Amino acid sequence: MFINRDLQIGLLEEACRHVSGMARINLHKSRDSNIQLMVIAFSPNKVYEYICDDITGLMSYTCLLGEMEVCLIERDGNERCVALEPGNVFSLPRNIWRRTRGGEKGCTFLECIEGRFLREKRRRMVE
C-alpha cells in the first residue's frame, strides 16, 4: 500500500464524519501478527484517553499530516507531552501509560507497535 497525501486526507475526512472522531487502516494481517501497523486519523482535537499494555516491546508514532500530541505518564508519575508535526517520530515502551490527541485541524499518523494485540493485556485509565 502506498500511503500518499490523498489517502491521508481521505482518512482524515472519514474521521471527521465518524461519530468516534477516528478512522483507521490496518496494514498488518491480523491480531496474531508480530507487529501492529496502522494508519490512523483523528478529527480536530480528538483525544484517545490513557491506555497501557501489560506487554514489553516498543511502539512509535509518525505524524504524517496535521499536528498531534502524545502524552505519557513517566514512571515517577509526572505527565510529559510531546508535540509532533509531519515527519516527526516518537518512540516509547508500550507498557507506559499514553494518551494521543489530534491537533486543531486533526491529524493522520502511522502507529507501529511491536508484538501482538492482546485485549486482555490492554488497560485503560479510570478517571
CB 52 within 8 A of CB 97: yes
Domain ranges of the chain: 5-124
**What pLDDT sits at residue 44?**
98
Class of 5-124 per CATH? mainly beta
Q: What's this model's pTM, rounded to 2 decimal places?
A: 0.91
Q: 10-residue block means of pLDDT along the chain (127 residues)?
A: 92 97 91 86 96 92 98 90 98 94 97 87 78
- AA letter at 17: R
- pLDDT for res 122: 85
Spatial contact of 70 and 20, defined as CB atoms under 8 Å apart: no
Q: How far apart are the two ends of the chain, measured CA to CA in Å?
A: 38
Rounded Cα gap, residues 122 and 78, in angstroms: 21
Compute, in degrees rounded to 10, the torsion defined by CA atoms 48, 120, 54, 123: 30
pLDDT at 127: 53
Q: What's residue 11's pLDDT?
A: 97
pLDDT of the residue at 1? 76
Residue among 97, 65, 95, 66 at smallest CA distance from 81 = 97
Q: For the chain, what's the residue count?
A: 127
